[in-house]
Amino acid sequence: MPATLGKDALTTLFCFKKTEIIQPLFHKPTKYMNCPSANRLLYSRIQAKCGHCGAELPPECLLPEVEIDKLRQEQDQIAERRAAAKEEEAAERVRLKRKYNDFR
């Protein structure tokens, strides 16, 4: 049976082994998942302002810079893998097109 995580898991990633949490990958979730001013769910904990009311968010609501850097690195790696896959797909298309033309 999978482990059940509360609403704090929306912004916190965990590494699972079977059903137990073995190591949090990022900091522990804070009690602030809503904007203190608007009392609405935060769109992003990277942005310094609330997406609903535009109020400055307290530091406790934001992700630490270290985690933001990790997330951006991961996004860059994903973009690089996508670009490489796209190039491979284009090369495969060309190869198949040549192969098809050879059979004609």
Mean pLDDT across the stretch 85-104? 89
Task: State whether 11 and 53 are in the same domain.
Answer: yes
Task: State whether 57 and 75 are in the same domain.
Answer: no
Task: State whether 5 and 45 are in the same domain.
Answer: yes
Q: Where are the alpha helices (H) located in the chain, listed in sequence order? A: 65-103
Task: State whether 8 and 49 are in the same domain.
Answer: yes
Residue 40 vs residues 32, 43, 52: alpha-carbon distances, Å: 10, 9, 7
Parent domain of 70: 64-104
Q: Residue 25 half-sphere exposure, CB side, CA atoms within 13 Å? A: 12
pLDDT tens readout for residues 37-93: 999 988 888 999 999 999 999 998 899 999 999 999 999 999 999 999 999 999 999
Query: In this predicted structure, what is the pLDDT of residue 64?
Result: 92
Task: State whether 20 and 71 are in the same domain.
Answer: no
Task: State whether 39 and 76 are in the same domain.
Answer: no
Q: How many domains does the chain have?
A: 2
Task: State whether 82 and 59 are in the same domain.
Answer: no
Mean pLDDT across the stretch 9-31? 46
pLDDT tier, 102 (very low <50, low <70, confident <90, very high otherwise): confident
Residue 68 vs residues 20, 58, 64, 103, 104: alpha-carbon distances, Å: 26, 16, 6, 53, 54
